[in-house]
Amino acid sequence: MTTAPQPTVTEAVDDYLKAIFELAEEGGRASTASIARKLEIAPASVTGMLRKLAEQDPPWIAYEKHRGAVLTDRGRQRALEIIRHHRLIESYLHHTLGYSWDEVHDEAEKLEHAISEQFEERIAEALGDPQSDPHGHPIPRKDGSMPERNEIGMLELEVGAGALISRVSDRDPELLRYFSRLGVRPGVRLELVERSPFDGPLLVRLDGATELTALGNKICREIHVSPDGPTEEP
């Protein structure tokens, strides 16, 4: 008769659930190694934690040795709650406290664990229930649903096609400052004019400008666009 551990929610648990959710979004199961990379900890530490998360009652994840982790409904619900916190905080810092969009991520990373439901409600209200954060990432609703949108990776856009920038990656402040300088931000219209060969840069016309902008292939992986319809302005 083994003991049935209680489902304690520590900061570490939240970080794991968020990481697993984001990895799953990017495609498939979250492997031990990928979680370790994302959280910047040793793979061995991840194994131990995954075992614990799966053994909680009720469990946060389903875990099989050598096969990585998948969130349970409960785990996904919790992950979405944290992501909602994070993105609402980012929006609040940007719109109300004058943070630039390259400054919000780190601050939100700390605050997302500390705020109450009341705080969440108040800032959501103050912002008018936004659907996306300053980088264009969708904000999960209170009920756990996600604003659906029709978006593709920048690299999948066809030459000659127009699109609205829907979101950019929020991880690297330096990249965000570069995007700022270029005028690349969610809501901006662009047209893919030319695709250089050998995975070279994409030449795009931003917001009807006369000049073209070259976007390196690697950087384009950090940009998503809505190919046809209008998208939400953040």
Partner DNA sequence: GCTCCTATTTAGGTATGCCTAAATGGCTGC
Partner DNA sequence: GCAGCCATTTAGGCATACCTAAATAGGAGC
Q: Which residues bind DNA (CB under 7 A)?
A: 5, 8, 10-13, 15, 31-34, 39-52, 65-66, 68
* Nearest distance, CB of residue 44 and DNA, angstroms: 3
Closest CA to 220 of 202, 193, 198: 202
Token pair for 148: 């659906």
Contact 166/138 with Cβ under 8 angstroms?
no
The interface partner of residue 159, options being DNA, a second copy, none and the CB cut-off 5 to 8 Å by kind, is none
Residues in contact with a second copy by CB under 8 A are 93, 97-99, 103, 106-107, 110-111, 113-116, 118-119, 122-123, 126
- When the beta carbons of 123 and 168 are compared against a second copy, the nearer one is 123
Token pair for 70: 């998948």
Place of tokens 């304690």: 8
The interface partner of residue 181, options being DNA, a second copy, none and the CB cut-off 5 to 8 Å by kind, is none
The interface partner of residue 119, options being DNA, a second copy, none and the CB cut-off 5 to 8 Å by kind, is a second copy
Tell me the β-bridge partners of 164.
189, 226
* Nearest distance, CB of residue 233 and DNA, angstroms: 36
The interface partner of residue 68, options being DNA, a second copy, none and the CB cut-off 5 to 8 Å by kind, is DNA
**Chain centroid to CA 102: how far?**
14
Tell me the β-bridge partners of 204.
192, 213
* Nearest distance, CB of residue 98 and a second copy, angstroms: 6
Token pair for 59: 């469990």
* Nearest distance, CB of residue 225 and a second copy, angstroms: 32
Angle at 57 between CA 110 and CA 42, to 5 degrees: 45
